[in-house]
Structure 1
């Protein structure tokens, strides 16, 4: 399997049609998309229940930061060929069908076949702040596993890219991430 991980946002719907938006690192293997969602998770349960997902390719890093800080409602539109939803802000999307499931107690491997792909807008490139927000979102998603010193040092380094290259969307997303770190730490102090 290719070990390169690409940061995307996966949208799924439950059997009842309730949408779910989640940032997810994916791998590409041949013509398939490899998803490895944690169990339990809405993403895993929705894909198993419906057999479908949508891979959203986007540069609006507020979606990444928002999802890990409790902002999970984003404008969606219906997928073209599957029962599902895609992000309205996606530059492109890939509609997926579950082709194979390799179960695991913690992280099953879901091999997803590409059913339909559309480009909605050109990709003009990332600015460094967008990459910093994505990396910051990964840190925030792992606050319960990382030492405070590691989080502080990495956030301080990422702050350089925010200061130099961020537009308003990246500044907003970065603020959400910094607030999430502060809330996490306040919760730890209260628990003591």
Structure 2
């Protein structure tokens, strides 16, 4: 059985306090530990190694996911409560993570972080199908250089069904950003 991976947005800062947001899959451990496996090179990896801190943001505003993978990284942030760092204002829940250890890997080091603080800010009512489709679309856009165009087209066409049936204005906006990023990639220009 494969290990469960949960999609969230990781917030970090560099040593000068400049924020960086990145959608990322995380693995939870029973002992308040969280595993992150950022690809090299990665601003998220560099920031965590430099500061030892990360914020884990759970949210349903899929515009943040789509925005981050399409160059829209300016989202309202708030200071974390116990560690020096920032969290997303839109987070339904956030955890403040302290780096404990690094298992080196040439492509994806494994970072083990300890949750020193967690806070709930709003109830999680679930995801609608369009929100789930935007998340999957964001993963595809993050891998445009790795996947064949036919796979991207097939998967996006399937995801479009959920967008057509259940999208609110927020999901439509996020979906549009993803479609623009795919078109820009194929045209050879930045999104």
TM-score normalised by the chain length of structure 1: 0.95
Count of aligned residue pairs for this structure pair: 188
What CA distance in whole angstroms lies between the structure 1 residues aligned with 2:102 and 2:130?
Answer: 36
**Structure 1 residues 45-56: aligned runs within 5 Å:** 45-56=46-57
Structure 1: unaligned runs, 5 residues or longer: none
Where has structure 1 moved over 4 Å in runs of 4 or more?
none
What CA distance in whole angstroms lies between the structure 1 residues aligned with 2:46 and 2:146?
Answer: 24
What CA distance in whole angstroms lies between the structure 1 residues aligned with 2:67 and 2:111?
Answer: 25
How big is each residue's C-alpha offset from its partner over 1:139-192, in whole Å with a ceiling of 9 and x where there is no partner? Answer: 00001111111111100000000000000000000000000011111118xxxx
Structure 2: unaligned runs, 5 residues or longer: none
TM-score normalised by the chain length of structure 2: 0.96
Q: CA deviation at 1:29?
A: 2.1
Distance 1:2 1:114, change over 3 A: farther
What CA distance in whole angstroms lies between the structure 2 residues aligned with 1:6 and 1:160?
Answer: 23
Is the 1:2–1:27 contact (alpha carbons within 8 Å) kept by the matching residues of 2? no
Taking only aligned residues, the RMSD between alpha carbons, in angstroms, comes to: 1.2
**Structure 1 residues 132-171: aligned runs within 5 Å:** 132-171=133-172
Q: CA deviation at 1:123?
A: 0.5
**Structure 1 residues 8-157: aligned runs within 5 Å:** 8-31=8-31, 32-157=33-158
